[in-house]
């Protein structure tokens, strides 16, 4: 017991070996390397675990279960090595971060001597104070080094140099060069986008392949883990079966031993009774009682030994089984924690890349759809405008050709009517007698005088609009100088009304970029109203022209019909007078033959029919035809004028829309470039902030892990001290 007590004291004294500044001697290198690896694994599992340790603090921890002195010593040395490694790693990490921030002279201020030993600190506050002191010294040295390296130059000299540089650049600037550079930049951007799209496709394919491989690996790992768990369960069940068999065998042996002892006791009692009955001497009886007591004591000692052996065997097996399960659980927990952390990191990165790619794809698709829609609309508008112009030109040509053909037909008909009238006049003049010569000579003169008077009356009444169709003459078709001047002024002012709108109305519609559709609709409505007004004015003017032409044609037709009627009435009167004279000259006793009467009747019918045909062909029918032709010409002129006005207005509107569209496209491109730059800068700032936050979180996590480890070690040492003091007091 004294040796055990001394060994325990030595073990308790070794528990506080982590406070020593000098490292103890290590006789074996391989054992030390193994201990360092175990301690590093334990520290990594404690530092990188996202949750608290699964085993409770106290007696169930891995430190308290180290029972022997050698295990305690190994554990202490491993913890000390882990602390040294963690402190050296943290110091190197801090120095690397300081170097990455642009402090290039930290190495000169804080030289790293690999030969010197890493300093050890007793408390966490000492480490923090030393780190703050190092940071302050490094910042002071950096500031001095920056002041030494900075160049002292006068601000005026720098401003003069900048002005000279800007003047030289302004002189050398050339718009052609800038345009070429702009084209090159556009080409480079296009190539860059294509390369980026190809890279994105490759990355997608790689990500898909990597994800499939990772899924396969995870499935294989799950299968392996399941197989391992099954094998472990089978081994545990086998061991339990063995333990049960051993316990059953031990129980059987114990039962047999008890039976044998009971038999022996019974036999001994029987023998004692027989001996007592035979010999009743007192010393023999005392001897038998002493023998029985010794036998009972020996049996009790045997039972106690068997029970202690059984308990020791059970404790040994149970402790070995429990240690094996704990070791395997710790290993599985470490592996599970590392695997979970790696999977979470991979999933986070994959999700981040996927979201970025999705955003970029959506933006590119929206931009492509917008550009395609814009190009399609431009093409449709250009095609529609081209077809409309072709249709208008074709219709105008078709109408012009129809008008020309109708004019030719009218000219031919007029020539034919003139020729027929001339033939009629010749026939009438030839059919008259010699006595009628002075009367025929006087009648055309009277007809001419009447025509001249009618024309003068028509010229006087040109300003008055006719109310009835029979009042229309040819002179109404010809406009006077005043009407022509007013008509030209009205036509000249109409394009100005369309092309030069008032400056007060234009900014009201075109000031706002958002209401362009409403502005276009209002502009179209105004143009439509103005076109309607023009059409009404043109219709009134054309109606005036048509009425004037109809009046002239009616006057001409009336003059012709009056001349024909006068000539027919004169011939009829002459014939009647000649008939009367012939009747008076002839004797009343003379008899007329029937064929003569029949011929006279036929001649009268022929004259009446001829006169009706002349009135129908040379009077009303030509006048109706001329009126219909005037209406058709008026409709054609109206349509041609409307098409010309529409063409002018729509061409002006097309030019305006194209200019506004080009301006909007340029503005959209500039805004898109600006947004892309802003987005890139923001993403860069986010990445920088994420890196700094990640570094700070890692520092905090490592410091807290180290602090928890130290506190746990202190708690375990306190508990061990309590146990040692209790054992010593006992």
664 contacts: CB under 8 Å, gap ≥ 6: 513
Q: Measure Cα distances from 243 to 314, 323, 480 in Å.
A: 8, 16, 137
Separation CA 388–CA 647 (nearest Å): 9
Which range is most confident: 264-268, 320-324, 577-581? 320-324
Give which of 107, 119, 24, 39 is closest to 75, Cα–Cα: 39
- The larger pLDDT score, comparing residue 33 to residue 665, is at 665
Judge if pTM exceeds 0.75: no
Asked if 133 contacts 100 with a C-beta cutoff of 8 angstroms, the reply is no
Q: What tens digit of pLDDT does each residue of 348-392 get?
A: 888 888 888 888 888 888 888 889 888 888 888 888 888 888 888
Of 64-73, 317-326, 697-706, give the range with the top mean pLDDT. 697-706
pLDDT of 472 higher than 70: no
| Number of other residues whose CB lies within 10 A of the CB of residue 475 | 19
CA neighbor of 3 nearest in space, from 66, 69, 65:
69
pLDDT of the residue at 31: 59
Yes or no: say if 499 and 602 are a contact pair by the CB < 8 Å rule: no
User: Which pLDDT tens digit goes with each residue over 201-223?
Assistant: 888 888 888 888 888 888 888 88
Intra-chain end-to-end CA distance of the chain, in Å: 12
CB 301 within 8 A of CB 292: no
Per-residue confidence at 583, pLDDT binned at 50, 70, 90? Answer: low
**pLDDT digits 0-9 by tens, 540-582:** 877 777 777 777 776 776 676 666 666 666 666 766 766 666 5
Which residues are 467's β-sheet partners? Answer: none
Percentage of residues in the chain having pLDDT higher than 70: 58
Higher pLDDT, 594 or 116: 594
Lowest mean pLDDT among 203-217, 278-292, 429-443, 590-604: 429-443
Q: Which of 118-127, 439-448, 507-516 has the lowest mean pLDDT?
A: 439-448
Q: Residues 403-414: pLDDT tens digits?
A: 888 888 888 988
What does pLDDT average to over the chain? 70
Who wins on pLDDT, 17 or 647? 647
- Quick one: pLDDT band at residue 328, thresholds 50, 70, 90? confident
* Span of 221-230, 262-271, 300-309, 655-664 with lowest mean pLDDT: 262-271
Q: How far apart are CA 48 and CA 338, in angstroms?
A: 8
Q: Could you report the per-residue pLDDT of 228-240, keeping only the tens digit for each?
A: 888 888 888 888 7
Identify the pLDDT of residue 46: 55
Q: Are 615 and 564 in contact (CB under 8 A)?
A: yes
Torsion sign, CA atoms 579, 581, 585, 588: positive
Bridge partners of 476, per DSSP, are: 548
**What is the predicted pLDDT for the residue at 452?**
45
What's the confidence (pLDDT) of residue 431? 61
Nearest to 559 by CA among 442, 410, 452, 411: 452
Name the nearest CA neighbour of 498 among 528, 519, 518, 520: 528
What gap in Å lies between CA 310 and CA 304, rounded to an integer?
Answer: 10
Of the pLDDT bands very low, low, confident and very high (cuts 50, 70, 90), residue 108 is very low
Separation of alpha carbons 135 and 322, rounded Å: 49
Residue 50 pLDDT > 70, yes or no? no
Q: How far apart are CA 506 and CA 495, in angstroms?
A: 17
pLDDT, tens digit, 9 for 90 and up, residues 674-690: 888 888 888 899 998 98
| Nearest residue to 562 (alpha-carbon basis) of 415, 444, 457, 468 | 444
pLDDT for position 265: 78
Cα distances from 566 to residues 98, 418, 490, 577, 580, in angstroms, run 129, 19, 46, 16, 21
pLDDT bracket for residue 62 (50, 70, 90): very low
Tell me the CA distances in angstroms from 124 to 45, 46, 127, 707, one per residue in order.
21, 18, 5, 8
Question: What's the half-sphere exposure (Cβ side, CA atoms, 13 Å) at 244?
Answer: 6
What's the pLDDT score for residue 135? 65
The pLDDT, as a whole number, for residue 527 is 77
Cα–Cα dist 405/632, whole Å? 13
DSSP state of 504: T
Q: How many CB atoms lie within 10 A of CB 264?
A: 12
Model confidence at 612, pLDDT cuts 50, 70, 90, reads confident
Burial 154-165 (b: 16+ CB within 10 A, else e): eeeeeeeeeeee
Residue 489: per-residue pLDDT: 55
């Amino acid at each position: 017991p004294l040796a055990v007590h001394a060994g325990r004291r030595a073990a308790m004294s070794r528990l506080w070996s982590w406070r020593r500044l000098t490292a103890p001697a290590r006789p074996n290198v391989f054992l030390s390397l193994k201990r360092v690896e175990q301690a590093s694994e334990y520290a990594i599992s404690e530092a990188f675990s996202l949750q608290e340790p699964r085993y409770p603090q106290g007696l169930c921890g891995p430190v308290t279960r180290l029972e022997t002195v050698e295990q305690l010593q190994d554990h202490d040395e491993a913890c000390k090595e882990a602390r040294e490694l963690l402190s050296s790693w943290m110091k190197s990490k801090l120095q690397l971060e300081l170097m990455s921030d642009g402090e290039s002279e930290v190495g000169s201020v804080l030289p790293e001597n690999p030969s010197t030993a890493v300093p050890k600190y007793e408390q966490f506050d000492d480490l923090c104070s030393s780190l703050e002191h190092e940071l302050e010294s490094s910042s002071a040295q950096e500031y001095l080094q920056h002041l030494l390296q900075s160049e002292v130059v006068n601000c005026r000299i720098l401003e003069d140099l900048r002005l000279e540089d800007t003047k030289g650049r302004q002189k050398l600037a050339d718009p052609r060069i800038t345009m070429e550079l702009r084209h090159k930049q556009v080409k480079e951007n296009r190539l860059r986008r294509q390369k980026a799209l190809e890279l994105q496709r490759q990355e997608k394919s790689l990500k898909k392949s990597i994800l499939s491989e990772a899924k396969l690996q995870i499935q294989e790992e799950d299968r392996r883990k399941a197989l391992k768990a099954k094998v472990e369960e089978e081994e545990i069940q086998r061991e339990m079966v063995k333990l049960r068999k051993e316990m059953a065998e031990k129980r059987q042996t114990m039962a047999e031993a008890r039976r044998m002892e009971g038999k022996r006791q019974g036999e001994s009692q029987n023998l004692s009774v027989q001996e007592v009955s035979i010999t009743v001497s007192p010393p023999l009886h005392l001897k038998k009682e002493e023998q029985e007591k010794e036998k009972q004591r020996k049996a009790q000692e045997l039972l106690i030994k068997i029970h202690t052996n059984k308990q020791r065997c059970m404790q040994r097996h149970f402790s070995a089984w429990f240690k094996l399960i704990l070791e395997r659980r710790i290993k599985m927990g470490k592996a599970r924690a590392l695997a979970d952390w790696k999977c979470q990191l991979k999933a986070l990165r994959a999700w981040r890349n996927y979201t970025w790619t999705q955003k970029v794809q959506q933006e590119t698709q929206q931009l492509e759809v917008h550009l395609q829609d814009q190009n399609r609309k431009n093409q449709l508008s250009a095609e529609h405008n081209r077809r409309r112009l072709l249709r208008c030109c074709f219709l105008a040509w078709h109408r012009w050709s129809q008008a020309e053909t109708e004019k030719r037909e009218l000219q031919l008909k007029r020539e034919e009517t003139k020729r027929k009238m001339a033939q009629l006049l010749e026939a009438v003049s030839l059919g008259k007698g010699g006595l009628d010569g002075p009367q025929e000579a006087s009648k055309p003169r009277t007809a001419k005088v009447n025509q001249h008077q009618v024309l003068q009356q028509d010229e006087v009444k040109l300003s008055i609009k006719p109310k009835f169709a029979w009042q229309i003459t040819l002179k109404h078709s010809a406009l006077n100088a005043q009407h022509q001047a007013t008509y030209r002024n009205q036509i000249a002012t109409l394009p100005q009304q369309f092309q030069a709108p008032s400056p007060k109305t234009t900014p009201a519609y075109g000031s706002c970029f958002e209401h362009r559709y409403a502005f276009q609709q209002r502009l179209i409505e105004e143009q439509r109203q103005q076109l309607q007004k023009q059409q009404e004015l043109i219709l009134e003017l054309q109606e005036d022209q048509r009425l004037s032409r109809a009046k002239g044609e009616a006057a001409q037709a009336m003059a012709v019909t009056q001349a024909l009627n006068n000539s027919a009435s004169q011939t009829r009167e002459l014939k009647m007078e000649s008939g009367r004279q012939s009747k008076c000259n002839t004797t009343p006793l003379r008899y007329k033959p029937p064929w003569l009467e029949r011929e006279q009747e036929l001649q009268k019918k022929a004259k009446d029919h001829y006169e009706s045909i002349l009135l129908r062909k040379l009077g009303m029918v030509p006048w109706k035809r001329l009126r219909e032709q005037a209406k058709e010409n008026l409709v054609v002129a109206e349509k041609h004028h409307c098409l010309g006005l529409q063409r002018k207005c729509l061409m002006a509107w097309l030019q305006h829309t194209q200019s506004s569209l080009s301006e909007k496209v340029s503005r959209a491109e500039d805004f898109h470039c600006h947004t892309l730059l802003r987005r890139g800068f923001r993403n860069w700032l986010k990445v920088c902030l994420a890196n700094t936050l990640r570094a700070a979180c890692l520092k905090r996590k490592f410091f807290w892990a180290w602090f928890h480890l130290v506190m746990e070690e202190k708690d375990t040492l306190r508990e061990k001290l309590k146990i040692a003091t209790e054992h010593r007091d006992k």
